[in-house]
Amino acid sequence: MKGLTRYYKRIRAQFILTAFCVFAAAVLFVPSFPAFEPEENNVYEIWLNGRYAGLTEEPEETDALLARARAAVASEKGDAASGDMVFAETELEYRGRTELFGRVDTREGIRDQLQGILEDSVLDILQRAYTVKINEYTVNLRSSGEVLELLDACLDRYDTKDQYTVELNVDPGRELNVLTASVCRTEELEEGESREGAGLEAFFAETLAQAEPARTRSFEELDYGLVGLEFADIVEVTEAYLTEEELTPLAEAVEQVMNEQAKEEIYEIQPGDTLSEIALEHSLPMEDLIAINPSLEDENSIIRAGQELIITVPEPELSVIHRELVYEEENYNAPVEYVDVDEWYTNQEETVQEPSEGHRKVAAVKTFRNGQELSDEIVLEEVDFEAVPKIVRKGTRIPPTFIKPISGGVLTSSYGRRSAPTAGASTNHQGTDWATPVGTAVVASCGGTVTRAGWASGYGYVVYIQHEGGRETRYAHLSRVLVSVGEHVDQGERIALSGNTGRSTGPHLHFEIRINGSAVNAVDYLE
């Protein structure tokens, strides 16, 4: 019995020794269990954006793992090939601790944990895009290909045979990377891309063409149709990073750019223009024309050649100028020929030869802006019979101007037929009457020489002034005359005080303008 007890004790001792050896080996040789360091952190918890991402002994490797996770999220959430930018919150934190026993996570496990947290932390995705600017209009498109499709669509309505294409070029005059759009012939672009030394060959070809003797071309030799195409507005394209919501679908962008909008322009009034004709020519309602022009009070407002008016013209956001070579047989008029007459005023003219139409065949380059013809240039002409020009003699002297001779006043009697206001008064009124208090200053309506100053029976006290071109102004019913016969007065100079003298129905000024002795309606001549 004692021998059996000694045997069990020996077995127990061997078991304890074996267990200790196994434990020691596990502590020393198994990497999943960190070595015991009683005074320093030997493992680190990784926290990303407040969420646990794993346990590691080597925190310095976490940045590389985070970069791999970030690249994976960018690839999944955005289009790396297009250069999309993915923004995600990345607040990384380490929490160290000391452990005798424990298992750390593998690198791949930590990377997967970091990627999962980043996917939940994406703040925004900015796509690489292109902003197109045309004057004050801008639109954002997804790619440079869409930019070219948009601009090509603006040309398609005029370029049905795809003879022209759009090219984007870097603007060397800009500090930022700005592209500008230009239109070029498709065949020229293809030749320029496929041939080296094309510039030298083109130079010799142009030189030979200039040296070739000029010869008369025929109508049959000309290539009719589209000969030129360009944008009338400057198109600028810049690269940008934008959200999906900021991008415009291509079809919608094409509609926005090509739809016509009412845009304001300046129109210079030409001789013979009337407000109704201007409104009709520009498809603008008369009330709208008056509303946008402060200088116009109503449809009867006076307009003069050279005056500028604001008009609205329907135009797309991007205007296109195209040129066509066309053949026409037409009746035509020769330009009016003017003969200057220095003794006449500019509003005096006389036709000395009436015109008659001619007939011709022409090949002409017509220039259009958004389909509206701007001009034409004849490149070949064959006249069947010549047009006879209209010949007009026209004055060169600027006529004198007239201003209202008093400030204020109430119009009481206009020029023309009327009932006699008092016994002995004329029923054919030769002037214009303004009621005004006695003593109101009367000024010269136009500069000239005083030919009468004093009493004139029914006119009471008067002043007559002679002006250039057989014109005369008369001022009547005055209370006081301030000038003398023979005296020269300037326009606006005070010449008298209004009154109520002569055959008068009350205090007022009677004013006349006479041309070559005949009275005219003074209101028509006042500025």
Q: Find all residues with CB under 8 Å of 515, minimum gap 6, and list them.
A: 469, 470, 471, 472
| pLDDT at residue 65, rounded to an integer | 85
Give the Cβ contact number of residue 381 at 10 Å. Answer: 11
pLDDT tier for residue 204 given thresholds of 50, 70 and 90:
very low
| pLDDT at residue 34, rounded to an integer | 46
d(CA 433, CA 413): 5
Q: Closest Cα to residue 475, out of 504, 506, 497?
A: 497
| pLDDT at residue 83, rounded to an integer | 58
Q: Closest Cα to residue 308, out of 317, 296, 298?
A: 296
Answer with the residue of higher pLDDT: 506 or 272. Answer: 506
Over range 333-345, report the average pLDDT: 91
Give the DSSP H or E segment for 344: strand 337-345
pLDDT at 247 over 80: yes
Over range 17-35, report the average pLDDT: 50
Give the DSSP H or E segment for 255: helix 250-258
| pLDDT at residue 85, rounded to an integer | 66
- pLDDT tens for residues 351-369? 999 999 999 999 999 999 9
pLDDT at 427 over 90: no
Over range 229-236, report the average pLDDT: 93
Sign of CA dihedral 432, 433, 434, 440: positive
| pLDDT at residue 471, rounded to an integer | 92
- For residue 150, the Cα-to-chain-centroid distance in whole angstroms is 18
| pLDDT at residue 440, rounded to an integer | 95
Give yes or no for a contact between 169 and 144, defined as CB atoms under 8 angstroms apart: no
Q: Distance between the two ends of the chain, CA-based, in angstroms?
A: 149
pLDDT at 254 over 90: yes
d(CA 45, CA 57): 9
- For residue 79, the Cα-to-chain-centroid distance in whole angstroms is 35
Give yes or no for a contact between 502 and 459, defined as CB atoms under 8 angstroms apart: yes
Q: Tokens at residue 88, please?
A: 């995600």
| pLDDT at residue 331, rounded to an integer | 94
- pLDDT tens for residues 159-197? 989 999 999 988 777 666 788 999 999 877 655 544 333
Q: Which long-range contacts (CB under 8 A, 24 or more apart) does 25-32 make?
A: 32/103, 32/104
pLDDT tier for residue 398 given thresholds of 50, 70 and 90:
confident
Residue 230 has phi, psi (to 5 degrees) of -160, 160
Q: Tokens at residue 236, please?
A: 């600028």
pLDDT at 527 over 80: no
| pLDDT at residue 282, rounded to an integer | 78
260 - beta bridge partners?
316
The DSSP annotation for 35-74 comes to PP-TTS--EEEEEETTEEEEEES-GGGHHHHHHHHHHHHH
In the three-class reduction of DSSP (H, G, I as helix; E, B as strand; rest coil), residue 96 is classed as: strand
- pLDDT tens for residues 70-112? 878 777 765 555 556 666 778 888 898 887 777 888 888 888 8
